[in-house]
Structure 1
Amino acid sequence: MPQGSGKDKLAGKAKEAMGKMTGNRRKEAEGKVEQAKGEAKKKLHGRGDR
């Protein structure tokens, strides 16, 4: 796993959860974006190893 992808996904999940708990839709959306960024990094890194 590339450095940062897991961190992005974890931080994104935390942000999304915090947004849901507080009713902050913007923070929730930011969390989803961070998770997607982490997933994209993971997929890009996997293709480079083949």
Structure 2
Amino acid sequence: MSEKSDKLRAMLEKEKERRIKLNNRIEILERRMLLCRTGSPAASGVPTGRT
């Protein structure tokens, strides 16, 4: 493969990893919002051991 295609593949892989991290962060925030709406004790600031 050429140097240019190797570089493009590396960029693509980085973007895929970035997207996965963003999607995970979105899911976490959506769960927190849902917990807040339902009045869960976890939403009141009680530590759950998760970050």
The TM-score bracket by the shorter chain reads 0.5 to 0.7
Tell me which residue corresponds to 1:32. Answer: 14
Q: Aligned pair count?
A: 29
Q: TM-score, normalised by structure 2?
A: 0.53
Question: TM-score, length-normalised on structure 1?
Answer: 0.54
Q: Residue 42 of structure 1 aligns with which residue?
A: 24
RMSD over equivalenced CA pairs, Å: 1.5
Code of the residue aligned with 1:32 in structure 2: it is K
- Shift in Å, 1:35: 0.2
Q: Which runs of 5 or more residues in structure 1 are unaligned? A: 1-21
Distance (Å, rounded) in 1 between the aligned partners of 2:31 and 2:19: 19
Which structure has greater helix proportion? 1
- Greater Rg by CA: 2
How far the C-alpha of 1:34 sits from its partner, in A, is 0.1
